[in-house]
Amino acid sequence: MRVVVIGGTGHVGTYLVPRLVEGGYEVILVSRAKRQPYRPHAVWSKVRRLCLDRAADEATGAFGPKIRDLKPDVVIDMISFTLDSTHHLVEALRGEIQHFLSCGTIWVHGHSVEVPTVESQPRRPFGQYGIQKAAIEEYLLDQSRRHGFPATIIHPGHIVGPGWVPLNPAGHFNSQVFATLARGGELALPNLGLETVHHVHADDVAQCFVNAMTCRSTALGESFHCVSSAALTLRGYAEAVSSWFGRAARLRFLPWETWRTTVTEEEAEATWDHIAHSPNCSTEKARRLLHYEPRYTSLEAVYESVQWLIEKQQLVV
Ligand SMILES: NC(=O)c1ccc[n+]([C@@H]2O[C@H](COP(=O)([O-])OP(=O)(O)OC[C@H]3O[C@@H](n4cnc5c(N)ncnc54)[C@H](OP(=O)(O)O)[C@@H]3O)[C@@H](O)[C@H]2O)c1
């Protein structure tokens, strides 16, 4: 089967493309060729790479037809962020492919009601990113269930892996938080530190996409969370990381308005986005219907990523 992966050299593509090639699929990779995958792998030489700029080609209406002309059996769209973008592609591919897989996000949920959150909970997204991803999901599910377009949506949590900085225990991306915990320094956390984050290793996201293709008949017309087996509280996450470095955590808790003044505006914005969502998602549906079995806990995924930062001297501890 021929699989076109749109945006296949990023966090997920680094693991997804090798899994597909090893599984016997013919892979065509679409990207602007600006970046390379995070890990070298012999299979990349077997992958046909097509240099396209989605945004530029969408503007002229050429993107969808260019993907259709590759004659794929399966299209994996890793990088759609607006309903218009997905709509354009679906119109070009209607009646032409066996399976369309779109990468969403657990941000489609906004605030949760019952946790772990299940896929069937009503969507109450906030923020443009989550609102657009929820609109894409609603559109694709409708296209699949009522109009026979063969779509599946995979919603990852915070994607982690060696090669980039993981979401840290303070809910932002400054790697110095790990250095502080490593030297036994004091770390301030917002509120009681009981808001949650939900990571997933990039290879587990890749596993979920491949399993959805294999379990096509149960995956069609469905969306799935793709997260580790359990979310972390910020406090628990900080304590575990300290202990991993052989330290006892020294944590201080500050009301949000005070805490935000202790970090940069960018860090405060990232933390707010994460704790306002406080994701805690169920993997039960993906396990049951796709045989999804995450290999990494959240902490295992984070440790592998932090270890990489240390080895590459991007983090001095
Ligand atoms: N990161 C997270 O924690 C997270 C969490 C939940 C959901 N998600 C979802 O995951 C998806 C992103 O996956 P990822 O993290 O693996 O991606 P990524 O690391 O951001 O990589 C993006 C890929 O798309 C290509 N690309 C970017 N702009 C392009 C364009 N205009 N035309 C063609 N190719 C383009 C990039 O290569 P070039 O730059 O060379 O073109 C690269 O291959 C998104 O749908 C996002 O909403 C991410």
Give the pLDDT band of residue 46 (cuts 50, 70, 90). confident
Average pLDDT, the chain: 98
What is the CA(246)–ligand 1 centre distance, in A?
35
* Cα dihedral across residues 190, 191, 194, 195: positive or negative: negative
pLDDT tens digits, one per residue of 212-223? 999 999 999 999
State the closest ligand 1 atom to the C-alpha of 160, by its place in the atom list counted from 1.
3
pLDDT tens digits, one per residue of 95-134? 999 999 999 999 999 999 999 999 999 999 999 999 999 9
Q: What is the average pLDDT across 172-200?
A: 98
- Confidence (pLDDT) at 25: 97
pLDDT tens digits, one per residue of 202-212? 999 999 999 99
Q: According to the 3-state scheme, what is the secondary structure of the chain?
A: CEEEEECCCCCCHHHHHHHHHHCCCEEEEEECCCCCCCCCCHHHHHCEEEECCHHHHHHHCCHHHHHHCCCCCEEEECCCCCHHHHHHHHHHHCCCCCEEEEECCHHHHECCCCCCECCCCCCECCCHHHHHHHHHHHHHHHHHHHHCCCEEEEEECEEECCCCCCCCCCCCCCCHHHHHHHCCCEEEEECCCCCEECEEEHHHHHHHHHHHHHCHHHHCCEEEEECCCCCEEHHHHHHHHHHHCCCCCEEEEECHHHHHHHCCHHHHHHHHHHHHHCCCECCHHHHHHHCCCCCCCHHHHHHHHHHHHHHCCCCCC
What is the CA(296)–ligand 1 centre distance, in A?
21
Q: What is the average pLDDT across 232-242?
A: 98
pLDDT tens digits, one per residue of 120-179? 999 999 999 999 999 999 999 999 999 999 999 999 999 999 999 999 999 999 999 999
Choose which residue among 27, 79, 298 to substitute to test ligand 1 binding: the one with the highest number of ligand atoms within 8 A of its C-beta.
Answer: 79
Whether the per-residue pLDDT at 69 is higher than 90: the answer is yes
> Hey, whose CA ends up nearest to atom 27 of ligand 1?
7
- Domains delineated in the chain: 2-159+199-226 (3.40.50.720), 164-198+230-279+297-311 (3.90.25.10)
Pocket of ligand 1 (CB under 6 A): 7-13, 31-35, 52-55, 78-79, 103, 105, 156, 158-159
- Confidence (pLDDT) at 190: 98
What is the CA(261)–ligand 1 centre distance, in A?
31
What backbone torsions phi and psi does residue 65 show, to the nearest 5 degrees? -55, -35
- For the chain, give the percent of residues with pLDDT over 70: 100
Cβ proximity of 170 and 191 under 8 Å: no
State the closest ligand 1 atom to the C-alpha of 106, by its place in the atom list counted from 1.
6
What is the CA(79)–ligand 1 centre distance, in A?
5
Contacts of 306 (CB under 8 A, 6+ apart): 166, 178, 241, 315
- For the chain, give the percent of residues with pLDDT over 90: 99
> Residue 162's CB: how many other CB atoms inside 10 A?
19
What is the CA(10)–ligand 1 centre distance, in A?
6
What is the CA(181)–ligand 1 centre distance, in A?
30
Short-list 69, 77, 72, 94, CA closest to 26: 72
State the closest ligand 1 atom to the C-alpha of 129, by its place in the atom list counted from 1.
47
> Hey, whose CA ends up nearest to atom 20 of ligand 1?
10
Give the pLDDT band of residue 285 (cuts 50, 70, 90). very high
What is the CA(8)–ligand 1 centre distance, in A?
8
> Hey, whose CA ends up nearest to atom 36 of ligand 1?
7
Instruction: Write down the pTM of the prediction.
Output: 0.99
Alpha carbon dihedral 174, 179, 182, 186, in 10-degree steps, equals -70
